């Protein structure tokens, strides 16, 4: 039995946990304000808010209630267990527009109205967010919403108008603030208490059974549900997204250890990551959108085995190591050896990624990530690449360059990396490293570019690494 709060209503359901929240709210709760758009997490028409407890964020160990925007077309109801799911109906006032809706109306930020509920929900998420109430963050919160009718400037003006309501917001009591200030309905102030009670009595979510008894281990599902939406509804699933033992980011000696279910957003919020990778948030903005980053997990990115997986390429350059578990025994596999061929992994069916670790960069190490896609944001890479380089002045002590989109698997360019070791950086040395890298790759012509274009991109992006690191 799945148990959660939907708007103000407590829900218990024995429907298949693999069913997505979008279908549940529309077809089983008759809440039609959440729209069906792309069903791939791109358009944001189905955006809802998810309130859950962030573990270990308070002295009593109970955590703190926080809200994230997600695309409900990719979220299984199994991942809603013990949480607060908020649709557009859940933020409506009885007889008038709420201030977010009023701002949209005042600024003429809607035409056909199909996308409007998604924009309103994302802005409501900004009001409930742990982030500072700035105009930049207000506009960033709608980066996962697409409008095909109106001009975005009117939507931006509405976002800024909403942000102006938040000048006195305290992030640790955001749900109380929005209730008190009549930004969102009064019931939000009671949700933390209700969720604590619900979670205290809720049973662990069972594994569902499929007819062939196969089990899919599921994190955020942001790619799996795009590929296999119908099949996942009735699949046998082991839900890993909310397993707190798979969530933490910690520093152990000189290692950074990350749980497999760590999301991209959690990486962005990690003080460890920001300390050693000050530009990480800039890199993350090149990857998907806010709602997807709130759902997408590291292990999901790795196991999906896309040749252009952005964070696969990121952590390849850091020589990350995976800890695999079958429930009884564990083993370690370097990420660079995890990919044996296209979509073929060094992983047994019963194994799952439990943790990922890598050695933290030293004081004389530099890191850079580059990506080119047809759109700068919200798009799959044509080519992406990372470089970690340890230097003494202009001398390279050690280098590690990874690349995606240039072969059947994400690649560590071992020959080009080895060539750079011991060299004094110069234009000639960089050109020779690029020439060697060209011998290691085997791009194909496809919808994201021709073979020649991808070879040119990799060359230019390797130059970009050196420009960024050596200014």
Strands 2-6 and 9-13: antiparallel
Tell which wins on pLDDT, 377 or 128: 128
Asked whether the beta carbons of 458 and 407 are under 8 A apart, the reply is no
Average pLDDT over residues 155-167: 95
Residue 384 burial (C-beta neighbours within 10 Å; 0-12, 13-18, 19+): buried
CA dist., res. 187 & res. 379, Å (int): 37
> For position 377, what pLDDT does the model report?
81
CA angle 411, 414, 415 (to 5 degrees): 125
Confidence band of 60 (pLDDT split at 50, 70, 90): very low
DSSP per-residue string spanning 439-466: HH-----BTTB-HHHHHHHHHHHHHHHH
Q: Is 322 exposed, middle or buried (0-12, 13-18, 19+ CB in 10 A)?
A: buried
Say what the pTM is: 0.93
Interval 9-30 mean pLDDT: 96
Residue 431 has pLDDT above 50, yes or no: yes
Instruction: Provide the 8-state DSSP code for 33.
Output: T
Average the pLDDT over 265-284 and give the result. Answer: 95
Average the pLDDT over 396-406 and give the result: 97
3-class secondary-structure state, position 160: helix
Per-residue confidence (pLDDT) for residue 200, from 0 to 100? 78
Report whether 101 contacts 19 (CB < 8 A): no
Average pLDDT over residues 200-223: 70
Are 401 and 386 in contact by the 8 Å Cβ rule? The answer is yes
Identify which of 211, 249, 212, 241 has the alpha carbon closest to the alpha carbon of residue 225.
Answer: 241
**37 and 44 in contact (C-beta within 8 Å)?**
yes
- pLDDT, residue 202, reads 61
DSSP 297: B
124: left (phi over 0), alpha (psi -120 to 50) or beta: alpha
Q: What is the rounded distance in angstroms from the CA atom of residue 54 to the CA atom of residue 122?
A: 19
Percent residues over pLDDT 70 in the chain: 95
441: pLDDT strictly greater than 60:
yes
pLDDT band at 58 (very low <50, low <70, confident <90, very high): very low
Model confidence at 25: pLDDT above 60: yes
The Cα 372–Cα 173 span in angstroms is 39
Cα(164)–Cα(257) distance, integer angstroms: 39
User: How many beta carbons lie within 10 A of that of residue 354, not counting itself?
Assistant: 20
Cα–Cα–Cα angle for 317, 323, 329, nearest 5°? Answer: 160
Tell me the residue length of the chain.
471
Among residues 115, 110, 137, which one has the least CA distance to residue 126? Answer: 137
Which residues have CB under 8 Å from 194's CB, separation 6+? 5, 10
pLDDT tens string 317-370: 999 999 999 989 999 999 999 999 999 999 999 999 999 999 999 999 999 999
Instruction: Please report the pLDDT score of residue 172 as a whole number.
Output: 64
Report percent pLDDT > 90 for the chain.
Answer: 83
Mean pLDDT of the chain: 92
Query: How far from each other are the two terminal CA atoms of the chain, in whole angstroms?
Result: 57
- The model's pLDDT over 111-143, given as tens digits with 9 standing for 90+, comes to 999 999 999 999 999 999 988 999 999 999 999
Q: For position 59, what pLDDT does the model report?
A: 42
Quote the radius of gyration of the chain (alpha carbons, Å): 23
**Nearby residues of 200 by Cβ (< 8 Å), 6 or more positions away:** none
């Amino acid at each position: 039995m799945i148990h959660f709060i939907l708007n103000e209503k407590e829900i218990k359901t024995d429907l298949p946990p693999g069913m997505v929240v979008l279908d549940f709210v529309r077809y089983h709760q008759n809440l039609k304000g959440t729209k069906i758009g792309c069903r791939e997490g791109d358009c944001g028409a189905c955006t809802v808010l998810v309130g859950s407890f962030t573990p270990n964020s308070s002295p009593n160990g109970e955590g703190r209630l926080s809200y994230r925007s997600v695309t409900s077309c990719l979220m299984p109801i199994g991942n809603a267990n013990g949480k607060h799911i908020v649709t557009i109906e859940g933020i409506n006032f009885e007889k008038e527009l709420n201030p977010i809706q009023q701002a949209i109306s005042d600024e003429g930020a809607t035409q056909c109205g199909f996308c409007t509920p998604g924009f309103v929900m994302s802005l409501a998420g900004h009001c409930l967010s742990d982030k500072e109430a700035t105009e930049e963050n207000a506009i960033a919160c709608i980066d996962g919403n697409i409008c095909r009718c109106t001009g975005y400037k009117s939507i931006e003006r509405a976002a800024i108008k909403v942000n102006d309501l938040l000048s006195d917001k305290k992030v640790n009591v955001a749900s109380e603030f929005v209730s008190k200030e009549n930004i969102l309905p009064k019931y939000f102030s009671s949700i933390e208490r209700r969720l604590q009670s619900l979670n205290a009595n809720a049973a662990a979510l069972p594994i569902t059974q499929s007819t062939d008894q196969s089990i899919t281990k599921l994190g955020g599902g942001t790619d799996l549900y795009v590929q296999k939406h119908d099949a996942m509804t009735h699949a046998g699933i082991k839900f890993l997204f909310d397993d707190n033992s798979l969530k933490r980011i910690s520093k152990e000696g000189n290692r950074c250890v990350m749980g497999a279910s760590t999301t991209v957003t959690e990486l962005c919020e990690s003080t460890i990551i920001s300390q050693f990778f000050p530009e990480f948030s800039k890199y993350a903005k090149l990857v998907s959108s806010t709602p997807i980053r709130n759902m997408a997990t590291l292990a999901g990115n790795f196991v999906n085995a896309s040749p252009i997986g952005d964070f696969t390429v990121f952590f390849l350059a850091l020589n990350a190591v995976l800890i695999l578990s079958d429930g009884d025994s564990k083993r370690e596999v370097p990420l660079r050896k995890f990919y044996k061929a296209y979509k073929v992994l060094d992983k047994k069916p019963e194994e799952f990624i439990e943790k990922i670790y890598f050695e933290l960069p030293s004081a004389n190490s530099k890191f850079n990530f580059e990506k080119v896609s047809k759109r700068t944001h919200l798009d799959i890479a044509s080519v992406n690449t990372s470089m970690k380089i340890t230097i003494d002045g202009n001398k390279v002590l050690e280098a590690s360059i990874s690349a995606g989109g240039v072969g059947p698997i994400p690649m560590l360019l071992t020959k080009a990396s080895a060539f750079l070791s011991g060299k004094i950086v110069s234009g000639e040395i960089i050109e020779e490293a690029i020439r060697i890298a060209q011998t290691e790759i085997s791009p194909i012509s496809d919808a994201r570019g021709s073979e020649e274009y991808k070879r040119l991109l990799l060359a230019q992006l390797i130059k970009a690494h050196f420009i960024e690191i050596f200014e």
